[in-house]
């Protein structure tokens, strides 16, 4: 499919509340100075705050079904991160938006029922009520329409947690075009158990492209794969990265 491309001037990418000063600047006002360390830190903090603001706005506009503004803020979030050099793959967010917007436009009543079930499903999973979560997932599916990609990945994850790898593999084999981070985590577990270590590594890397430096468990999985493939250097590097992530989150792990 094709989509019309809209070119946006960089100067237009300004969040509400951060409008530039419109007063003209004279040559006398222009002073070139070497940035101080403190100024650099403040600048970095401002950029991080802008990134957080854009991401939170994206989430808030989804809650009120303003998908157009949600998409604009997601684009701002992506642009700011790219400017900071902290790029990550967020295609799955755009796919979520497209799915939710399509569902809402077709049947708003069903949309809200599914959103309510979505919340209950993840709450049941957090409470380790796996059978309840699976029952709610079936209820979600029976409503018809598209299945949220996070729900697809969660169903596979639950069967892995229940040690039912056969069922998990059957479900994941039917999933197409899912870029959710949780999908790659689930796929890596299945591939590892099947001793397909090189494919497992690819899944772990795909996860890190979407959520870099966020999951110590994912790096432990990488370590296990490299160890099985007799690549001790890469195995040790992955393990050290896992340790670094745990320390940054104040997690004490062996």
Tens-binned pLDDT, residue by residue, of the chain (254 aa): 566 655 555 555 444 443 444 444 344 443 434 445 444 444 555 555 899 999 999 999 999 999 999 999 999 999 999 998 888 999 999 999 999 999 999 999 999 999 999 999 999 999 999 999 999 999 999 999 999 999 999 999 999 999 999 999 999 999 999 999 999 999 999 999 999 999 999 999 999 999 999 999 999 999 999 999 999 999 999 999 999 999 998 887 66
Q: What does the block give as tokens for 90?
A: 């967020």
Tell me which residue of 74, 43, 47 sits closest to 58, measured CA to CA.
Answer: 74
> Do 161 and 124 touch, CB atoms closer than 8 A?
no
Q: What angle in degrees, to the nearest 10, is found between the helix axes of 67-84 and 91-106?
A: 180
> Do 185 and 206 touch, CB atoms closer than 8 A?
no
Checking 14-20 for CB contacts under 8 A at 24+ apart, the result is 15/50, 15/53, 15/54, 15/57, 15/73, 15/76, 18/50
The position carrying tokens 């892995």 is 160
> Do 231 and 212 touch, CB atoms closer than 8 A?
no
DSSP state of 86: -
The reported pLDDT for the residue numbered 32 is 38
The reported pLDDT for the residue numbered 9 is 56
Quote the CA–CA distance of 153 and 125 in Å, as a whole number: 12
Tell me which residue of 136, 132, 176, 131 sits closest to 153, measured CA to CA.
Answer: 176
Please tell me the pTM assigned to this model: 0.78
The reported pLDDT for the residue numbered 5 is 58
The position carrying tokens 């994912």 is 218
- Cα–chain-centroid distance for residue 142? 27
Q: What does the block give as tokens for 186?
A: 């689930």
SS3 label, residue 213: coil
> Do 192 and 200 touch, CB atoms closer than 8 A?
yes
The reported pLDDT for the residue numbered 49 is 86
Which H helix or E strand runs over 95? helix 91-106
The reported pLDDT for the residue numbered 210 is 96
Quote the CA–CA distance of 87 and 180 in Å, as a whole number: 17
């Amino acid at each position: 499919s094709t989509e019309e491309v809209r070119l946006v001037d960089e100067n237009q990418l300004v969040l509400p509340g951060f409008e530039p000063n419109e007063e003209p600047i004279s040559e006398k006002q222009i002073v070139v100075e070497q940035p101080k360390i403190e100024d650099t830190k403040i600048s970095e903090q401002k950029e991080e705050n802008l990134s957080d603001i854009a991401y939170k706005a994206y989430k808030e506009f989804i809650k009120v079904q303003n998908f157009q503004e949600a998409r604009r803020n997601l684009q701002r979030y992506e642009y700011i991160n790219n400017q900071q050099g902290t790029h990550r793959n967020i295609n799955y967010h755009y796919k979520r938006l497209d799915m939710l917007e399509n569902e809402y436009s077709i049947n708003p009543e069903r949309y809200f029922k599914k959103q309510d079930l979505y919340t209950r499903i993840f709450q049941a999973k957090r409470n380790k009520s796996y059978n309840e979560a699976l029952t709610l997932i079936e209820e979600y599916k029976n409503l018809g329409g598209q299945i949220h990609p996070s729900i697809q990945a969660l169903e596979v994850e639950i069967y892995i947690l229940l040690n039912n790898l056969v069922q998990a593999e059957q479900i994941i084999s039917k999933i197409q075009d899912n870029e959710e981070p949780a999908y790659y985590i689930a796929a890596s577990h299945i591939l590892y158990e099947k001793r397909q270590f090189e494919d497992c590594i690819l899944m772990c890397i795909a996860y890190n492209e979407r959520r870099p430096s966020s999951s110590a468990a994912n790096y432990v999985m990488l370590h296990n794969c490299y160890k099985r493939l007799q690549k001790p250097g890469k195995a040790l590097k992955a393990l050290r990265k896992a340790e670094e992530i745990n320390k940054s989150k104040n997690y004490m792990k062996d």
